[in-house]
Amino acid sequence: MAAVTYLEAIRQGIWEEMERDPTVFVLGEDVGRYGGAFKVTEGMIERFGEDRVVDTPISESAIVGAAIGAALMGMRPIAEMQFADFISCAFDQITNFAAKCRYRWNAGVPLVIRGPSGGGVHGGPYHSQNPEMYYVHTPGLKVVAPSTVYDAKGLIKAAIRDEDPVVYFEHKFLYRRLKETLPEGDWTVPIGKADVKRAGSDISVITYGAMVHLALEAAAALANEGIDLEVVDLRTLVPLDKERILDSVKKTSKAILLHEDVRTGGMAGELAALIVEEAFEYLDGPIMRITAPDTPVPYSPPLEEFFLPKTSDIIRVARRLAAY
């Protein structure tokens, strides 16, 4: 088996599910002949035809609305947002319609909304966002953010098979930068399970998405100094794998919460609350957040560089926390 990129892994996952299950289909802007702005759906229209690879007008709200309609009928639509930033235009359909159908009237809406999120490519304020918290905060949705090629494939397949609406944030910085040889056969990565990407004994770094790789870099750097980081990759933000998180913190007694998203109201807050509520007695130091600052994502390289959390930030904070 040849190694595939993160992006190819997502394509493979969708492709396999479309082969396996005739109710799976894709819709979005330019997903057909063009294969999508990032080429995630490349080749699909040739294989599966126009009925199952639907080019839409620029109507994010209607894309999600139509996906809901199809899902109510037992289909399994995958709606692409050309950039995750544009999911804002479908916010109402996602949070008020898709998220609440099952609770309100016991109607399942097994759909996936996916798109490229994240910065590091000089996309500026509207092509770099990390919109996960808007959906994490909405009961009824599941939210997924894979950090590796393996997880990207396994989670997209699991998302498609899930009975509930799943918002799947892929990280565009990782699209072509990661490569991995994947196992053959039909396998998934379960939604709701975190993954310890590196075991360690001193500090738990709890994170997800592209930041996982910074955490691993920091861990490698700190190993020389005798600071042993455990890197917990959430993979799924909702439902949250509380057990795995708490186990890790109970073991290390110290936690760094790391995300690329802005700070206030970010995932780190939720994690901090969970930890102080349920593992207070185990804590040997303050819980530290490393996040983007509370600003839009700026465009110019020195600004974006400043905005994004860096490996050096993790190293600095970990040293301080280790010394606490």
Ligand X SMILES: Cc1ncc(C[n+]2csc(CCOP(=O)(O)OP(=O)(O)O)c2C)c(N)n1
Q: Which residues bind a copy of itself (CB under 8 A)?
A: 85, 88-89, 91-92, 95-96, 99-100, 103-104, 125-126, 133-134, 136-137, 139-140, 238, 240, 257, 262, 264-273, 275-278, 280-281, 283, 285-289, 294-296, 298
* 208 interacts with, out of ligand X, other proteins, a copy of itself, none, CB within 5 to 8 A per kind: none
Beta strand spans in the chain (E): 4-5, 24-28, 53-55, 76-80, 112-117, 142-144, 166-171, 179-180, 195-198, 203-207, 229-233, 236-238, 255-262, 288-292
Closer residue to a copy of itself, CB minimum distance, 72 or 75: 72
Site string for other proteins, 195-234 (x = CB under 8 A): ----------------------------------------
The answer for 284, left when phi > 0, alpha when psi is -120 to 50, beta otherwise, is alpha
- Within 24-43, the residues that bind ligand X by CB under 6 A are 29
Instruction: Tell me whether residue 100 or residue 122 sits nearer to a copy of itself (CB atom).
Output: 100
User: Which one of the spans 112-120, 201-209, 251-259, 300-308 is the region binding other proteins (CB under 8 A)?
Assistant: 300-308
Q: Does the protein bind ligand X through residue 60 (CB under 6 A)?
A: yes
In terms of CB distance, is 86 or 97 closer to ligand X? 86
Contact partner at residue 267 from a copy of itself, other proteins, ligand X, none, CB < 5 to 8 Å by partner kind: a copy of itself
Out of 127, 171, 213, 259, which one is annotated catalytic? 127
Q: How far does Cα 199 stand from its chain's mean position? A: 21
**177 lines the binding site for other proteins (CB under 8 A):** no
SS3 5: strand
CA gap 272, 286 in Å, rounded: 10
- Clarify whether 259 is annotated catalytic: no
Q: CA angle, 107 as apex, 45 and 239 as ends, to 5°?
A: 80
Q: Is 29 among the residues that bind other proteins (CB under 8 A)? A: yes
Please give the Cα distance from 61 to 65 (Å, whole number).
6
Give the 3-state secondary structure percentages of the chain, helix then strand then coil, rounded to 5: 40, 20, 40
Residue 239, preceding bond cis, omega within 30 degrees?
A: yes
Please report whether residue 74 would count as binding other proteins according to CB under 8 A. yes
Query: Do residues 68 and 109 lie in contact, with contact meaning Cβ atoms separated by under 8 Å?
Result: yes
Using CB under 6 A, list all residues that contact ligand X.
29, 58, 60, 82, 86, 89
* Residues classed as catalytic: 127
